Amino acid sequence: MAVKLFSGFAIFVAVFLALMMTQTSIPLIYIVVTLFALVLIWRLAIELDKREPVRRVTREAYRLNNPSCCIGGLLACNECGSEKINGVTSLVHPGYREHACKDCGELLYYSRKSRK
């Protein structure tokens, strides 16, 4: 959705600049403000796209999508079957932990980072 928002905004900016160029002179402030807004919207779109997977892949969703990997209340890797799951702070998604298999490295799910 964020990328669609960005592309719609980019079309708006292109039309705005085309209209401004029909005048005899374009004030530099219009160009600077427009480009600044375009960069901000682009960064917002990237950040929203990065955070999208966190809402979908939770421990509960992993357990429901992989019932054969739930062994007596413990979770196992859906790739290699190992029960060794490591949780580390995510560099891509601040405030979340990434849980991955220690043996094969497969990313399994995300959880919210506990606040101390």
Torsion angle in degrees (nearest 10) through CA of 13, 14, 19, 24? 100
The fraction of the chain above a pLDDT of 90, given in percent, is 9
Instruction: Output the average pLDDT for the chain.
Output: 78
- Give which of 44, 74, 57, 71 is closest to 109, Cα–Cα: 57
Q: Which of 41-55, 59-73, 100-114 comes out lowest in average pLDDT?
A: 41-55
Q: Evaluate if pTM is beyond 0.75.
A: no
Take residue 39 and report the two structure tokens written for it. Answer: 């960069």
pLDDT reading at 93 higher than 80: no
pLDDT category of residue 6 using cuts at 50, 70 and 90: low
* Alpha helices, H only, the chain: 2-21, 28-56, 59-65
Place of tokens 């600077």: 32
